[in-house]
Amino acid sequence: MARNASAQDAQIGRTLWLKDHGGWRAIVVQAVVPSVKGPKVHFRDQDGQDGQCLLTACYRSTHS
């Protein structure tokens, strides 16, 4: 279903995926900012909730 997201996947408007409580949740990239631990993705999910996570926690669909 998914592979780890890379820097080229972290583009504004792109849909990425987070594994959340054993299920997958689609997120849309709103911004990418540098951080000490690597790029941080600011996103909005399918419910309209904003959030952020490290890019290393994001996945890219292998079917896209």
* 37-64 residue pLDDT tens: 999 999 999 999 999 999 999 999 876 5
DSSP-derived letter for residue 43 is: E
What is the percent of the chain with per-residue pLDDT over 70, rounded to a whole number? 95
Question: For 29-33, what is the mean pLDDT?
Answer: 97
pLDDT averaged over every residue in the chain: 91
Residue 36, pLDDT > 90, answer yes
Any idea what the CATH number is for the domain that residue 15 is in?
Answer: 2.30.30.1060
Domain range enclosing 8: 2-61
Radius of gyration for the chain, computed over Cα atoms and rounded to the nearest angstrom: 11
Is the entire prediction scored with pTM above 0.75?
A: yes
Number of structural domains found in the chain: 1
Q: Which of 24, 23, 42 is nearest to 32 (CA)?
A: 42
